[in-house]
Amino acid sequence: MSATTSEGSRRLAGLACLLGAAVLLVLGKAATAPPATKIALGRPQPSPTPAPSSGAAAAGRTGSAPVPPSGGRAASGGTGTFLGRPEDVGYGTVQVRVTLTTGRITDVQAVRLPSGGRSSEIAAYAAPRLRSEVLAAQSANIDTVSGASFTSEGYARSVQSALDAAPK
């Protein structure tokens, strides 16, 4: 019986080690994961810099600036194609071009998306979903694509800057 008890003890000890290693792996992964962010475009906030008056992107302006005071709505009556600011999202840059027809968003095209390895896969998955979100919402006030929160945030900010560049 002692051989059976010894074998059972070894199995139990092996299982405990395996579970301990799994816990350490999960805790280590959680500690190195990027922080979760939310797109808060529904709440108007003051813009740190004025929006460009032309359709050109603001030179050198990237990052996570607060949402402009327009509250995520398209310009009323604006017609044309407007380039959003390039937004650095930590894994690359997101930039979009928005087409307006009498104030209505009729097209959104990604000009730049994060690339390289997993970033390319995420961008390829997220871009068509984000485009659909913008066209449905008719604003930059869109839902985050699961698994692409940074790309979603940059996309929404670039859309908003393009809408801000449209004539009022």
**Distance between CA 50 and CA 34 in Å, rounded?**
30
Across the chain, where does the E strand assignment appear? 80-83, 87-88, 93-101, 104-112
Tell me: pLDDT of 159 over 60.
Answer: yes
pLDDT digits (tens, 9 = 90+) for 97-156: 999 999 999 999 999 999 999 999 999 999 999 999 999 999 999 999 999 999 999 999
pLDDT digits (tens, 9 = 90+) for 72-87: 555 556 889 999 999 9
- What is the residue type of 108? V
pTM above 0.75, yes or no: no
